[in-house]
């Protein structure tokens, strides 16, 4: 009955373009004693929800590969730690001012610091923004938050088991060090061989993955640590496996089922008789999340040299509380540190912030122009020498990354003067090391485009498959230069028509181009195996070059630069 009600409720929520988590929490309210009174005993649902938490952390661990951690860079660390520290301190102060006891305020402050991995990953995926610079930074900060959330869960679990801080530190350092060394050795020398054996059967790979995750969870619980940290470590040890993506994909439906019941349980614990007591505090804390988190992110990203647009987008992306927030609060209640009124407060705050941030994430690009001018105080001013230097370039390439890589090689072969514009500092640094002429800039910034001598160029190439960005670029160029060749990228036919109406010269559509290219090869080579093998060898060489510079094929349908 709970699942049926969840399906109906979540279906309505999806029609309203809200994340499914809202539907699960509302289902909990519907099945509680206040409405249908279906949940009479919570023991079974509590057990299922714990399994869901373990599976969630197991999958988080699978994504904590060294490559991902390297990619997020220092900005995620600086902005993430800054946001967590300031949100925690101010959250504690505000909760105390609202009249809550210190222990309750401490738990609330911890809950406010984290953002929802599930909600953010889903919405960024829907927007095709996982591979953008702001998307990668958001994911990096989420990974940092997840690690700190795990540490918080370890501390709370240990305190609930009456383990002192000094004893906790000693036990954690000694026991943790021994286990980590053993697991590193196992993951390096044993698991790869086991995984090859298990991967021969899809069913057995699935069974092995569950057994490994739950097995380490049990081991960590036996060692007076926690199920949660055991599940996370289990995922991390498998993250270096070539089958980690397959394992993660197989685990997600199982995780989703059990996590549904976790959120249903939380929703059922919302006490309506306390609504008048918690409504104002929940609204205040929600405003705190919507305002302070983005401003904190903007501040620290500005200090690291990032543009205000990226800071704004990352800040809005993280403006909600997390599933970890609910886990921390649930653990606090189970440990008898806090009362159920805090569960109701965080649940209501979660409903408000998750619902609100969904709209903020979806419409962030459209909201940015309204706040752009006032956000300049968060941006480190850099000297502009664009106007003088750009006079000598015949070609400007907007966005490097994967598609731009081949354009650069072509421009170099043609010996044409060209300039690369990108807003990823890491890419600019790599291009500078390779002595490729480049500048750091945001193509969505009209003022920046005005600084470029667009009237002097003969060609502009944009690898950014984003309609609004390309529309602005075409408009700026055509206003001063009617003869320039303008080539842009798009992934949608209707958008391509719109760009042609704006007088673009050519729209490159990668998904269609691949099939067209291959069909032309078949026309030329027919059934000549030798010629196909030559093409094969050329592609292998090209792929090796791409691999050496760190390129991977995008995991989503379309990406921005």
Which residues, 6 or more positions from 492, have their beta carbon under 8 angstroms from its beta carbon? Answer: 467
DSSP bridge pairs for 459: 395, 485
pLDDT tens digits for range 231-249: 878 887 887 777 777 788 7
Q: Report the alpha-carbon distance of residue 92 to residue 275 in Å, rounded.
A: 21
pTM strictly above 0.85: no
CATH architecture of the region 386-548: 3-Layer(aba) Sandwich (3.40)
Q: Are 491 and 511 in contact (CB under 8 A)?
A: yes
The pLDDT value recorded for residue 382 is 55
Q: Are 250 and 206 in contact (CB under 8 A)?
A: yes
Task: Give mean pLDDT, residues 431-439.
Answer: 86
Task: Give mean pLDDT, residues 352-379.
Answer: 84
Separation in Å, CA 297 to CA 16, 128, 310, 443: 29, 22, 10, 21
Q: Of 205, 239, 295, 287, nearest to 58 (Cα)?
A: 239
Helices (H), 269-339: 275-303, 308-317, 323-334
pLDDT tens digits for range 199-228: 777 788 888 888 988 888 888 778 766 677
Q: Of 320, 306, 150, nearest to 235 (Cα)?
A: 150
Task: Give mean pLDDT, residues 381-403.
Answer: 67
CA atoms within 13 A on the CB side of 346: 33
pLDDT tens digits for range 535-556: 888 888 877 776 766 656 555 4
Q: Are 36 and 5 in contact (CB under 8 A)?
A: yes
For residue 16, pLDDT over 90 is answered with no
Task: Give mean pLDDT, residues 341-353.
Answer: 86
Which of the four pLDDT bands, split at 50, 70 and 90, describes residue 557? very low
When the candidates are 3.40.50.2000, 3.20.20.140, 1.20.1530.20, 3.30.110.30, the CATH number that belongs to 2-163+260-376 is: 1.20.1530.20
The pLDDT value recorded for residue 170 is 61
The pLDDT value recorded for residue 384 is 45
Q: Of 464, 468, 287, 294, nearest to 366 (Cα)?
A: 468
Q: What is the DSSP letter of 454?
A: T
pLDDT tens digits for range 180-203: 677 777 777 777 777 677 777 778
Which residues, 6 or more positions from 236, have their beta carbon under 8 angstroms from its beta carbon? Answer: 61, 62, 64
Q: Report the alpha-carbon distance of residue 271 to residue 486 in Å, rounded.
A: 60
Q: What value does the mean pLDDT of the chain take? A: 80
Q: Report the alpha-carbon distance of residue 543 to residue 330 in Å, rounded.
A: 48
pLDDT tens digits for range 439-467: 887 787 777 788 888 888 999 999 888 88
DSSP bridge pairs for 419: 396
Helix (H) or strand (E) holding 422: strand 418-422
Per-domain boundaries in the chain = 2-163+260-376, 386-548
Q: What are phi and psi of 149, to 5 degrees?
A: -60, -40
Q: Of 245, 144, 314, nearest to 555 (Cα)?
A: 245
Task: Give mean pLDDT, residues 468-475.
Answer: 89
The pLDDT value recorded for residue 455 is 86
Q: What's the order of all strands across the beta sheet hosting 438-440?
A: 438-440, 418-422, 395-398, 459-462, 485-489, 506-508
DSSP bridge pairs for 516: none
DSSP bridge pairs for 421: 398, 439
The pLDDT value recorded for residue 461 is 92
Percent of the chain surpassing pLDDT 70: 85
Q: Are 213 and 62 in contact (CB under 8 A)?
A: no
Number of H helices, E strands in the chain: 25, 6
The pLDDT value recorded for residue 273 is 66
Q: Report the alpha-carbon distance of residue 152 to residue 159 in Å, rounded.
A: 11
Q: Report the alpha-carbon distance of residue 15 to residue 8 in Å, rounded.
A: 11
């Amino acid at each position: 009955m709970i699942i049926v009600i969840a399906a109906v409720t979540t279906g309505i929520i999806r029609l309203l373009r809200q994340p499914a988590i809202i539907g699960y929490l509302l289902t909990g309210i519907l099945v509680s004693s206040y409405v249908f009174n279906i949940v009479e005993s919570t023991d079974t649902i509590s057990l299922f929800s714990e399994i869901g938490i373990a599976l969630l952390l197991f999958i988080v661990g699978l994504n904590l590969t060294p490559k991902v951690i390297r990619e997020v860079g220092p900005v995620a660390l600086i902005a993430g730690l800054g946001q967590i520290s300031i949100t925690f301190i101010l959250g504690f102060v505000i909760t105390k001012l609202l009249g809550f006891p210190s222990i309750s305020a401490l738990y609330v402050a911890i809950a406010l610091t984290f953002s929802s991995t599930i909600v953010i990953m889903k919405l960024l995926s829907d927007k095709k923004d996982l591979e953008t610079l702001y998307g990668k930074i958001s994911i990096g900060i989420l990974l940092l938050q997840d690690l700190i959330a795990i540490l918080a869960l370890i501390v709370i679990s240990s305190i609930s088991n009456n383990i002192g801080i000094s004893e906790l530190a000693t036990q954690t350092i000694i026991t943790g060090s021994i286990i980590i060394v053993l697991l590193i050795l196992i993951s390096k020398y044993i698991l790869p061989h086991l995984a090859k054996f298990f991967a021969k059967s899809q069913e057995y790979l699935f069974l092995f993955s569950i057994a490994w995750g739950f097995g380490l969870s049990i081991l960590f619980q036996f060692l007076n640590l926690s199920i949660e940290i055991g599940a996370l470590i289990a995922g991390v040890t498998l993250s270096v496996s070539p089958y980690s993506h397959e394992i993660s994909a197989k685990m997600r439906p199982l995780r989703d089922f059990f996590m549904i019941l976790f959120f249903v349980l939380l929703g059922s614990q919302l006490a309506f008789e306390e609504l008048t007591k918690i409504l104002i505090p929940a609204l205040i804390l929600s405003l705190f999340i919507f305002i302070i988190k983005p401003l904190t992110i903007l501040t620290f990203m500005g200090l690291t040299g990032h543009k205000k647009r990226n800071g704004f987008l990352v800040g809005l992306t993280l403006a909600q509380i997390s599933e970890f927030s609910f886990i921390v609060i649930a653990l606090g209640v189970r440990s008898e540190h806090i009362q159920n009124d805090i569960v109701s407060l965080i649940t209501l705050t979660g409903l408000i912030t998750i619902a609100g941030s969904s709209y903020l994430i979806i419409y962030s690009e459209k909201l940015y122009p309204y706040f752009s001018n006032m956000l300049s105080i968060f941006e480190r001013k850099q000297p502009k020498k664009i106007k003088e230097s750009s006079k000598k370039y015949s070609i400007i390439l907007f966005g490097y990354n994967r598609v731009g890589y081949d354009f650069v090689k072509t421009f170099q072969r043609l010996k044409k003067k060209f300039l690369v514009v990108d807003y990823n500092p890491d890419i600019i640094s790599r291009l500078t090391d390779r002595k490729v002429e480049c500048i750091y800039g945001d193509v969505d910034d009209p003022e920046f485009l005005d600084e470029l001598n667009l009237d002097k160029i003969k060609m502009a190439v944009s690898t950014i498959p984003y309609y609004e960005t390309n529309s602005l670029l075409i408009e700026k160029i055509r206003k001063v230069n009617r003869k320039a060749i303008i080539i842009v990228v798009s992934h949608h036919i209707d958008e391509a028509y719109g760009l042609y109406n704006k007088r673009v010269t050519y729209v490159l559509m990668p998904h269609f181009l691949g099939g067209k290219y291959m069909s032309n090869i078949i026309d030329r080579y027919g059934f000549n195996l030798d010629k196909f093998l030559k093409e094969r060898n050329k592609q292998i060489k090209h792929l090796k070059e791409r691999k050496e510079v760190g390129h991977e094929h995008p995991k989503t349908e379309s990406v921005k630069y």
